[in-house]
Amino acid sequence: MKLIGDMESLFCTYNQALALKELGFNEPCMKEYHNEISCNNSTNDENTNSDLFELYGEGVITSPLKSQVFKWFRDEHNIVHTVYSNASGYIWELHYNKERGGTHICDSEESGDCELSGMFTTYEGAESACIDKLISLIKEKKS
């Protein structure tokens, strides 16, 4: 079932969901991917990746809301994000949370992953790129 309007942009992409699962994300989600195809969760709105593995095997993973992912990175890795706009477009920043001194980690201009003139043209684009950077930071940290 296709989600109404632009609701799809509220959820992580398949590749992000897969990477998050590999990093240990196992939170209840309202949506899931069946072999890369986005689906509304047809079994239970509280399924986790562990539940789905038991039900379907490897081909199904949860598709978290972007807000869930940002909360998970705050709670599990003490990293907070900001997406904001200026006259040129949108940008994201990452910081350790205040318990770790609020230290700046990086931003989209430093990372060089912006779409145009050092900025993103949409808020959702900046948000998605921010999640990609969070995933890569934790992968680097684990290796």
The tens digit of pLDDT for each residue in 105-121 reads 888 877 666 555 568 88
Domain boundary among 18, 41, 64: 64
Shared domain check, 11 and 34:
yes
pTM above 0.75, yes or no: yes
| Residues of the chain under the 50 pLDDT cut | 1, 42-44
> Tell me, what's the pLDDT at 1?
43
Task: Look up the domain containing 25 and give its range.
Answer: 5-64
Name residue 90's beta-bridge partners.
Answer: 85, 120
Q: Indicate the SS3 state at residue 12.
A: coil
> Tell me, what's the pLDDT at 104?
86
Shared domain check, 72 and 60:
no
Q: Indicate the SS3 state at residue 80.
A: strand
| CA trace torsion 115, 119, 121, 124 (10° rounding) | 90
> Tell me, what's the pLDDT at 140?
92
> Tell me, what's the pLDDT at 97?
80
Domain boundary among 13, 29, 64: 64
